[in-house]
Amino acid sequence: MLTRFLAPRTEAVYAFARIVTGLLFAFHGVQKVFGVLAQSQPPVGSQLWMGGVIELVAGFAIAAGFFTTWAAFLASGTMAVAYTQFHWKLAMGAQFFPGINKGELALVYAVWFLYIACRGAGVASLDRMRTRRR
C-alpha cells in the first residue's frame, strides 16, 4: 500500500532531493569563497578555496539541473578527495570511521552526487528543457 502511494511521486521527490542537496552544497561554497557565516575564510587560490568554488558552481548547477551529470560527477570527486584528505587522512584505528573523523557529510555527498551523476537531472531541470528543444 505504501509503495502504491509513493511510486507516482518518485520523480518529484528525486527532483526535490537534488535541488535541496545542490543548494546545501552551494552554501558550503558560499561560506568558503565569500566567508559568509564562517569563522574563517581560506586564502584565495588555496586548495580549500578552490574546493569552495567547485561547491558553489557545482551546487547551483545540480540544483538547477544544468549539466547535472558533469556537475554531480565533479562534486562527487571533490567530496571523495575531501573525505580522504581532510577527514580520513588514510589513518587506521578509530580514525578510519566517519563517525570519529567527522567525515560523514563528505562521504554522503560523494555517494549521493555519484548517484545523481549516474541517474541524471530528471524532472524540473534545465537539462530536461534543453533536451526537449532538440
Q: Which helix or strand (DSSP H or E) is residue 66 part of?
A: none
pLDDT score, position 24: 98
Average the pLDDT over 15-27 and give the result. 98
Contacts of range 36-43, beta carbons closer than 8 Å, 24 or more positions apart: none
Residue 65 has pLDDT above 80, yes or no: yes
- pLDDT value at residue 111: 98
Q: Is the pLDDT of residue 133 over 90?
A: no
Average pLDDT score over residue span 32-61: 96
Percentage of the chain lying above the pLDDT 70 cut: 99
Q: What residue spans define the domains of the chain?
A: 10-133
Is residue 14 pLDDT above 80, yes or no?
yes
Buried b / exposed e over 100-128, threshold 16 CB at 10 Å, is: ebebebbbebbebbbebbeebbbebbebe
Cβ proximity of 112 and 80 under 8 Å: no
Q: Rounded to an integer, what distance in angstroms lies between the CA atom of residue 104 and that of residue 39?
A: 21
pLDDT band at 132 (very low <50, low <70, confident <90, very high): confident
- Mean pLDDT across the stretch 127-131? 92
Question: Which cell is 128 given?
Answer: 530536461
Locate 79 and state its grid cell. 567530496
Query: What pLDDT shows up at residue 59?
Result: 98
